[in-house]
Amino acid sequence: MPEPSLGPPRILPRSEHSISRAHISKSALNVLYGLHKAGYEACLVGGGVRDLLLGVTPKDFDIATSALPEQVRATFRNSRLIGRRFRLAHVHFGPDIVEVATYRASHDKAEDEADARLDGDRILRDNVYGTREEDVIRRDFTVNALYYRIEDFSLIDHVGALEDIDKRRLRTIGDPEARYREDPVRMLRAVRLAAKLELTIEPATEAPLFELGYLLETVPQARLFDETVKLLLSGHGIRSYEQLSRYRLLDYLFPVESAALAPERDRLIRAALTNTDQRVAAGLPVTPAFLIAVLLWEPLQEAMAHQLVRGVSEHDALIKAQEDVLRTQNDLLAVPKRFTLPAAEIWSLQSRLQRRRQPDRLLGHPRFRAAFDFLALRAQSEPDLQSVVNFWAARQEGLDLPIEAETDGESPDGALPRRRRRRRGRRRGAQGASAPPVAADV
């Protein structure tokens, strides 16, 4: 693919842009100054620069430099080199890690074939080093191709990024289809940036998204999972979901058909993602396990129905359905067991919650709260479950709500729910034993 040509860069001095060192992490500044002092050009680049200009607090700061990876390693004793596909350095400052990448160049400038490997159009190894001018055209989107140079605090724009940021527009550098074929994850990144920053994907950049989803099948599973987590659990999940469905990219991540998604399933997913976005905004923890349970709930029900018509017991049908659904999921996007196992527990607790037996024992289950939240989400589209939700909500408050209670939370005769009385253990002689501990609410 011919590389896009560059005109003279637009360079803004410190007085003409809003980026201040006060908003850059101390660790990133230490790396920038350390490289500059060692005689290398060093620039803050990528999402950190973009977010600062958009008024968003960056999650991390990436640095691009003229120094080779080994030279970065020699400059910082607290660094280590990582990656084979894309060789770079991580500089460690306690829990903070600053990523440092050497300027990249076009593959046709490779002196060693091992430094630049392609599989068709897809880049397998990208370790051909060059200048800043060569590096910029190797980047994905214009908004990620601004350079903040530490030696004079200037902002350097080679590709019209400042205008795109001003217009809140997402545009690839070079031919969009070729960029997506080089690295299919860029399609997910386009969706994520548009959702996170509320950018409009310009038509030429958007058009291939409708056609090239199948390329995601070539992406390593671990990388695909990481990108999916960023899409759905970073506070903009509902917008990401809408975009993934629009471009039918969701079909290559989960066992769904975006064009024929059942309304009930769509409502459940939207409710879960809205709740997740609210938790992220409030600074509360979120986990992929809960979202996996939501996204795969309807396929699980269908798989379980197939088992039940064969005369299998409900317990065995659930176990077999879980195995089938998770196997199908892992063919698309492998989810680590540390998330699928909790998701399976959330599923198995649904029938137990609906039976409402042994409530104190269930209240002490480590997945009770997640399973209850899942039940409450289901009740939004399954009104018959509301009395079950009310029952467990009351039990968490220490109230006895009759199983026959109506959805308004009152007992049949209109009396208020009774608060449970704690039983005291019998005394054994003068040194009576204390009452057994009551399971804490989860």
Tokens for 153?
């605090």
Phi, psi of 427 (to 5 degrees): -75, 140
Sign, CA torsion 18/23/24/30: positive
Angle in degrees, CA 68, 73, 74, rounded to 5: 95
Which candidate in 51, 62, 164, 251 is catalytic?
62
Residue 140 annotated among the catalytic residues of the structure: yes
Write the CB contacts of 111 (distance below 8 Å, at least 6 apart in sequence). none
Residue 441 annotated among the catalytic residues of the structure: no
CB 133 within 8 A of CB 158: yes
Which candidate in 135, 140, 157, 251 is catalytic?
140
Residue 384 annotated among the catalytic residues of the structure: no
In single-letter form, the type of residue at position 220 comes to P
Distance, in Å, from the CA atom of 127 to the CA atom of 106, rounded to the nearest integer, reads 10
Which candidate in 60, 115, 175, 400 is catalytic?
60
CB 43 within 8 A of CB 147: yes
Cα end-to-end span (Å), the chain: 57
Active site residues per annotation: 60, 62, 140
